[in-house]
Amino acid sequence: MTNPQNQEKSSCCSCTDRGNASDCCCSIPAGTKAAIGTATSSVTLQNRLDHVRARLGVNRMGHRVEPGLYCLGAPDADSPVFASANYTLSFDALRSAVAGVDCYILVLDTNGINVWCAAGKGTFGTDELVRRIESTGLPGIVRHRKIILPQLGAPGVSWPEVMRRTHFKVVYGPVRAADLPEYLRNGTATPAMRKVQFPLRDRLVLTPVEFVHVALPALAAAVILYFLAGSAASLAAVAAVVAGTVLFPALLPFIPTHDFSTKGLILGGVVAVPFAAFFATVPPLPFWANAAAAGAALLIIPAVTAYLALNFTGCTTFASRSGVKKEIFRYVPVMACMAGAGIILGIILGISRLFGVI
Amino acid sequence: MFDSYTENTLRYNQERCINCGMCSAVCPHGVFTPGGTAAVPAAPSSCMECGACALNCPVQAISVESGVGCAWAMISAALRGKDMDSGTCGCGGAAGSCCGSDTKEPSCCDKK
Ligand code: SF4
Ligand code: SF4
């Protein structure tokens, strides 16, 4: 292992211009195995546009930072080392949170996926961390043997294993990058910093990508329903989708019950009521047709909203696999039966209209 | 009946614990808290089976069947005739999904 103190400091290291890297990074010992990039803490307008595109799901896998080692400020052999994912939002959150701190950032190759998801998949994991420590020549760059990982990377990393293979000690920083300055000041994370939160802002930033995913089928359903059953039915389709992808995340903690499916059924039920009331009072229709139309709304809208709500489990850090599995077995058959019954009612109404019965 | 999340696969063998505090440090839900002589499982039902505690416990005092709590991934695995538990999140797919959040890093899923 190279001791940086015994090495000449190169006047300027072999920096590369990659991702957010720009100027050359100095204070790096000569003989460093790999090139070191330089990052800044300032998040540019271009970075922000990239964040917006990422949140809209545009070019989803294209929001990447080149994996490797970066220096921020003018780090020396005693400066802290942080690890991050090669996803621009993760990397940018880290580099802006540690503004003013001279440090190194070790970017792991997570295929452009954020820390939490990548840790779950194992790409933000022990093997990749060990590989990056070795390939960047980190042991020759810093004198200490400590690397600070985001706490949400812990599901992918085994610290005893990293220690055994690299002699680097893994310490876990706070959940939120924004707490890093306080963490660095105190040298430890408070229990509050260690707990994951899911405030309104975090829930709302997920809604565009959720909506975009179902926008196309929703639009198709709205157009078909417009021609088959009129503008109210078309609007009902849009309302069910907006309820499941936008209203549900926003209102998540305020809807009673714990399960995502039952929350979705409740929300969908509330959204369905005005449509059912409207269909129940369409003037020229016979009573049975009014009732069938209202029933179809009360069956289909909650089922669609609940299904979309159930799928939101994957966007949270709260749903366990055991629990989600139970939800699927308990509620998906109910949703399927409700949607099926509603569609049958709709078909009966459509056929009746076609044959002039109503 | 109306709470599917009361039980999970988290198991803790207190006798093995050397009270290193790592499980309290890595758990994002405060399931474990530091105790006098051993870690205390303070809120086991809050566990979302991420596996961080088990992977980082130096003496294997914790076990959990970790997995992705993503309904879409599980339903889609079942529809393809695969084991629901086999489905890792497939956010690596070109279409991607919610896996785009930042500091909060919401859980993964492999939608659409
Ligand atoms: S990580 Fe293991 S040894 Fe350490 S406190 Fe938790 S249970 Fe005990
Ligand atoms: S599996 Fe994750 S959520 Fe459950 S106790 Fe361990 S660290 Fe906490």
Measured from the alpha carbon of residue B62, the closest ligand is 1
| Cα(A82)–Cα(A298) distance, integer angstroms | 52
**Average pLDDT of the residues in A41-53:** 89
A279 with A297: CB under 8 angstroms? yes
Answer whether A104's CB lies under 8 Å from A136's CB: no
Residues A311, B25: C-beta atoms closer than 8 Å: no
- For CA atoms A183, A185, A191, A196, the dihedral sign is negative
Sign, Cα dihedral of B71, B72, B77, B81: positive
Mutate to test the pocket of ligand 1, among B15, B26, B27, B32 (most ligand atoms within 8 A of CB): B32
Contact across the interface for A319 and B5, Cβ inside 8 Å: yes
CB pairs under 8 A between A and B: 240
CA distance B17 to chain A (A): 15
Q: Which of A57-71, A81-95, A252-266, B31-45 has the lowest mean pLDDT?
A: A57-71
Asked if residue B40 has its Cβ within 6 Å of ligand 2, the reply is no
Locate A283 and state its tokens. Answer: 């003037």
pLDDT digits (tens, 9 = 90+) for A164-201: 999 999 999 999 999 999 999 999 999 999 999 999 99
Q: What is the pLDDT of residue A134?
A: 96
Q: Which amino acid is at B4?
A: S
Does ligand 2 lie within 6 Å of residue B22's CB atom? no
Q: How far is B86 from chain A (nearest CA, A)?
A: 11
Q: What number is the average pLDDT over the span A237-260?
A: 95
Global ipTM: 0.83
Q: With CA atoms as reference, report the closest residue to A296 among A256, A357, A222, A346.
A: A346
Through-space distance between the first and last CA atoms of chain A, rounded to whole angstroms: 86
Residue A107 DSSP label: E
**Among the atoms of ligand 1, which is closest to the Cα of residue B60?**
2
| Contact between residue A124 and residue B89 where contact means Cβ atoms under 8 Å apart | no
How far from A152 is each of A131, A219, A331, B26, CA to CA, in Å? 20, 37, 30, 8
Question: What is the pLDDT of chain A when averaged over all its residues?
Answer: 88
Chain A residues close to B75, C-beta within 8 Å: 328, 332
**What is the C-alpha separation between A246 and A228, in angstroms, rounded?**
26
- Asked whether the predicted pLDDT for residue A20 surpasses 60, the reply is no
Q: d(Cα A328, Cα A317) in Å, to the nearest integer? A: 18
Residue that wins the pLDDT comparison between A274 and B1: A274
39-98 of B, contacting A, C-beta below 8 A: 47-52, 55-56, 58, 65-75, 78, 84-85, 88-89, 91-92, 94-98
| Residue with CA nearest ligand 1 atom 6 | B23
The arrangement of strands across the sheet holding A103-108 comes to A36-39, A68-72, A103-108, A81-85, A146-149, A169-172
Measure CB to CB from residue B28 to each of A92, A111, A196 and give the nearest one: A196
